[in-house]
C-alpha cells in the first residue's frame, strides 16, 4: 500500500527534472533513473521523515526464519537499518542531479559505475 508521502514524492519528481523516470522493482521498491543513470531507490511505504531502526531483533540473524515467515521488503529495510523518508529522498535526488549536471568528475564516475552495475 503506497503512502501519501510516496504519492507526493512521485508527483514532485517531474518538477525536479523532466528526465527523471521511475521503474517499479519487486517487493514495493522503486528505482529512480536520471537520463541513463541509476540515482536512487525508494520504498512505497515511506514516512515523511526517515529514522533508524533501534530495536534488536534476534530473528534477524536466522536467515531460514526470514526466508520462511517474513516479508523480504521488511528484511531489506532492517538490514539497511534505516527507513528513508520523503524529505530524505527528495534531498538526495536534488543533490545527485545537481552533481550530475555541474560536476564533470562526478558525472564520469557515475557513468563508469553504471556501466559496471548489473541491473536485474
Q: Which residues, 6+ apart, have CB-to-CB distance to 112 below 8 Å?
A: none
Does residue 62 surpass a pLDDT of 70? no
CA-nearest of 65, 89, 87, 85 to 75 is: 65
pLDDT at 94: 93
Cβ pair 96, 109 in contact under 8 A = no
Cβ atoms within 10 Å of 51's Cβ, excluding its own: 11
Question: How far apart are alpha carbons 19 and 67 in whole angstroms?
Answer: 37
Mean residue pLDDT of the chain comes to 78
pLDDT in tens, 63-90: 666 566 555 666 666 556 567 788 888 9
Residue partners of 5: CB distance under 8 A and separation at least 6: 46, 47, 48, 85, 86
For residue 105, the model assigns a pLDDT of: 92
Distance CA 108, CA 94 (A): 18
User: In the chain, what are the domain boundaries?
Assistant: 4-49+85-116
Tell me what the mean pLDDT of segment 45-61 comes to: 64
- pLDDT classification of 54: cutoffs 50, 70, 90: low
What is the model's pTM? Answer: 0.69
pLDDT at 60 exceeding the cut of 80: no
pLDDT at 104: 92
Amino acid at each position: 500500500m503506497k503512502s501519501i508521502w510516496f504519492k507526493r514524492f512521485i508527483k514532485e519528481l517531474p518538477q525536479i527534472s523532466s528526465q527523471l523516470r521511475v521503474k517499479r522493482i519487486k517487493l514495493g521498491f522503486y528505482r529512480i533513473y536520471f537520463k541513463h543513470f541509476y540515482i536512487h531507490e525508494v520504498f512505497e511505504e515511506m514516512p515523511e521523515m526517515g529514522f533508524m531502526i533501534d530495536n534488536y531483533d534476534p530473528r534477524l540473524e536466522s536467515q531460514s526464519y526470514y526466508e520462511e515467515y517474513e516479508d523480504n521488503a521488511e528484511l531489506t529495510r532492517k538490514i539497511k537499518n534505516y527507513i528513508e523518508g520523503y524529505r530524505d529522498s527528495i534531498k538526495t535526488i536534488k543533490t545527485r542531479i545537481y552533481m550530475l549536471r555541474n560536476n564533470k568528475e562526478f558525472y564520469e564516475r557515475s557513468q563508469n559505475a553504471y556501466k559496471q552495475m548489473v541491473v536485474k
